[in-house]
Amino acid sequence: MTFRNKLVTALLALALAGSSALAHQSKEVGDGAYRVIVGYLVNPAYSGQINGIDLAIRNADNEPMLGLERSILAWVIAPDGTELQLTLRANAAKEGWYTGDFIPTVSGNYTFRVSGFIGEIEFEEHFDEPAHSDPAVLDGASIRVP
């Protein structure tokens, strides 16, 4: 894929996903055949509040890959290293996007691990920068009122 095609693909992904994509991390898999995009469903993320993985898979032409909720696995990894496997489902509001709920219990930097199959392509990727805040999950007490 040429630099121009990569630039056009990146701009299209931003336009299609809206501003939330700015807080997401993306990685190419299958020698560039697909792009996996991961972030938080709700930004900013706060401890004690339900959130979820915001996961998209696009092909090299930036077309959404549908029906992958049974062939993709995802884990959220807490700051202490504890992992929780997420139950993925298609996001009805965004074509080609998937989510799985979790509640971060402490503030800190949570990461995601995603693996599985896209067609016959097998992959496993770790996403260590899925948010634009530091820490990725902020202390929920900072926004509470009596």
pLDDT at position 12: 42
**Closest alpha carbon to 108 in 65, 46, 35, 39:** 46
User: Does 146 reside within a domain?
Assistant: no
Residue 103: domain span: 3-139
Cis peptide before 135 (omega within 30 of 0): yes
Q: Is the CB of residue 96 less than 8 Å from the CB of residue 64?
A: yes
Averaged pLDDT for residues 25-43? 96
User: Does 109 reside within a domain?
Assistant: yes
Number of domains in the chain: 1
User: Does 92 reside within a domain?
Assistant: yes
pLDDT at position 1: 53
Chain centroid, CA 25 distance in Å:
7
What predicted TM-score, i.e. pTM, was given to this entire model? Answer: 0.82
Q: What is the pLDDT of residues 87-123, one digit of tens each?
A: 999 999 999 999 999 999 999 999 999 999 999 999 9
- The CATH number covering residue 71 comes to 2.60.40.1930
